[in-house]
Structure 1
């Protein structure tokens, strides 16, 4: 008889033991897992309003992804159309003309959209066509809407073979066709809004940018980026309140005078129902006060730091950027953490924000500006260097060695290559016109500042020297 080898699971994670008995793992799809996004959204907003670390985490992600704005460089088939498109973009995007509320420019809208997505999980940018008589450089505006505007109670099949799911309409093959959007914010109250009594309208998908991070295939809606750390942040608030109350109790130092002699009047004895620091109390005969000894909270600092580390990890940012605590870093560790954070930023920029927001707005701009065959390049802000003196020379060496093209190096610093070259030429021509030679002019000075024997103009006529 052969020995029977007992069956053993290949993964402990699939075992059913006492360690996993209370582990609830429903087999829901990406959308069923976000069954009630409004609860998460409202809790996240409350944390951002009242918890400094939640607020800082949202700001860190927003400021690093968008910063002062992701810039567009337009191109057309002719030079005149290229200049015209760039001029129209500057007049429209770099002014409040682009904002339906008239408050900010396109870069401010980028900031608000990114912040809304991180905090609430998603937001909408709606196209608002305008009349030529409105006097805009390009006849449309952008209306930024919070996630609450989606009428998410509509579900079911449609007669045309499509269907509606949580306020989003799809065609028969699953493409987004339209959004059901409230005409006003459902949470608005006031003189003109009253209570929740707004209607909604069907808005074609072409006129809506739905910005959210997809964490799973097939995900239709976004969830707050604070979701993984929400309980930690809430418990930290509770812990800090308890610690503060313990410290208040510990500060109640008071002196008690005990006497067995009866008082002439009842008013001579103090009521100690409310202690105040530094007071002296005369006690009634045969009355004693005993205080409990609260546990010491010597772990306040270490516990707070560990929670902050968990929050930073859950948000995908560094502990130092969240807290500003640089006590345990040097150049190497700071740069390694900054590079890892940079990979997350690049992913959020190039795989999420630029394709959806910048690309969507660029599509509308191309359709409404009246210039054919437009394309564009996007240049996000440069990330601040940990130590420029150490980080700039390697970039120069890579360009000189042919390992990195000059345009890419310039874009990595947050500048547009063509605009930068035009400005360099303009400034060089002006310096030549004035007859000035600066140490910063590589055409005429060496790296250490010495005047070159052959300048740029001489090199044109002296091929040997050139």
Structure 2
């Protein structure tokens, strides 16, 4: 009995997860100790790099366009389920009227705003939108104002008292609920930006935060290109080097060896000391005795 209990409860010395093992095979392997820590430290840099490649690399641009097309397509369109047909038709008329004027800048309709927001989420990891109610003679009373991810400061952290606090530009109450977003008035890098640096507090009920959560308690988003960005950068450099190599390999210079000085009869135009001779496949060019050409 003692030997049986010893075998059951003794700590196994040879059992282990390979993924948690040590040794030389695991030297230099990186780990993610905290997702929020990693996002706060590097999400902005990764987003800016991803944005550059999405605008300059044709393969990334095509991939982002494909993702946006598959997620949004022609637009995610709600449909009323009201039992009264007349009410449904009236709601549809009002909805179509609003969708054409949802963008305060007039660059897109509601469905175009969806595509822009999803594109920003793929490239930068997240997108923000502010719901603005406008009273007066405007065509519609509600607008959707898309925000740049940098307008919500990633480095804004503050204790508000009573258990409330601001983390990465997002305000939480004591229960951990999102109560407000702190938004800068202008987009970073805007040459015509105002000098008002203090961000505005906007209630969470008036803001939309679009990102793909990867873990519980995640504060901000990370670009969807993060897993491939480094390899993409190296492949881009490799492709550029291969193109330069092909261009260099296609440059030919001919050197004529003429020990007797009798090569002056070669046909061709002499331009600044360079003899230009047309070369075609299958050409046979006779050379004077003792003359040689090397490329």
TM-score range, shorter-chain basis? Answer: 0.7 to 0.9
> Which residue number corresponds to residue 38 of structure 1?
44
After superposition, the C-alpha distances for 1:274-319 in whole angstroms (9 at most, x for unaligned) are xx9989xxxxxxxxxx99xxxxxxxxxxxxxxxxxxxxxxxxxxxx
Distance in 1 between the 2:197 and 2:158 partners?
21
1:26 Cα deviation (Å)? Answer: 4.3
1:248 Cα deviation (Å)? Answer: 1.6
1:42 Cα deviation (Å)? Answer: 0.4
Contact 1:51 1:233 in 2 (8 A): no
Give ranges in structure 1 of 5+ residues lacking alignment: 263-267, 280-289, 292-466
Inter-CA distance 277–166: structure 2 relative to 1 (3 Å threshold): farther
> Which residue number corresponds to residue 17 of structure 1?
23
1:269-308 aligned at under 5 Å gives the runs: none
**Residue 161 of structure 2 is aligned to residue 159 of structure 1:** yes
1:284-363 aligned at under 5 Å gives the runs: none
> Which residue number corresponds to residue 135 of structure 2?
131
> Which residue number corresponds to residue 244 of structure 2?
245
Q: Secondary structure at the match of 2:128?
A: strand
1:177-256 aligned at under 5 Å gives the runs: 177-189=179-191, 192-193=192-193, 198-256=197-255
**Residue 112 of structure 2 is aligned to residue 113 of structure 1:** no
47-56 or 248-257, which moves further after superposition?
248-257
Q: Secondary structure at the match of 2:223?
A: coil
Contact 1:69 1:107 in 2 (8 A): yes
1:84 Cα deviation (Å)? Answer: 2.2
Contact 1:155 1:165 in 2 (8 A): yes
**Residue 80 of structure 2 is aligned to residue 74 of structure 1:** yes
* Structure in which a larger fraction of residues adopt strand: 2
Contact 1:252 1:278 in 2 (8 A): no
Contact 2:184 2:198 in 1 (8 A): yes
After superposition, the C-alpha distances for 1:236-294 in whole angstroms (9 at most, x for unaligned) are 111111111211221122210235689xxxxx9x899xxx9989xxxxxxxxxx99xxx
Distance in 2 between the 1:124 and 1:5 partners?
52
Q: Secondary structure at the match of 1:217?
A: coil
1:167-178 aligned at under 5 Å gives the runs: 167-178=169-180
Contact 2:134 2:143 in 1 (8 A): yes
Q: Secondary structure at the match of 1:158?
A: strand
> Which residue number corresponds to residue 54 of structure 1?
60
Contact 2:187 2:193 in 1 (8 A): no
> Which residue number corresponds to residue 103 of structure 1?
107
Q: Secondary structure at the match of 1:40?
A: helix
Aligned length: 265
1:159 Cα deviation (Å)? Answer: 2.1
Contact 1:125 1:209 in 2 (8 A): yes
Give ranges in structure 2 of 5+ residues lacking alignment: 262-269, 280-293
1:216 Cα deviation (Å)? Answer: 1.3
1:19 Cα deviation (Å)? Answer: 0.6
1:74 Cα deviation (Å)? Answer: 1.4
Distance in 2 between the 1:218 and 1:201 partners?
24
Contact 2:121 2:211 in 1 (8 A): yes
1:83 Cα deviation (Å)? Answer: 2.6
1:380-459 aligned at under 5 Å gives the runs: none
Question: Which of 92, 100, 124 in structure 2 is aligned with 1:86?
Answer: 92
1:186 Cα deviation (Å)? Answer: 1.2
Q: Secondary structure at the match of 2:176?
A: coil
Inter-CA distance 5–123: structure 2 relative to 1 (3 Å threshold): closer
Q: State TM-score, norm by structure 1.
A: 0.52
Contact 2:185 2:196 in 1 (8 A): no
Distance in 2 between the 1:247 and 1:87 partners?
60
> Which residue number corresponds to residue 145 of structure 1?
147
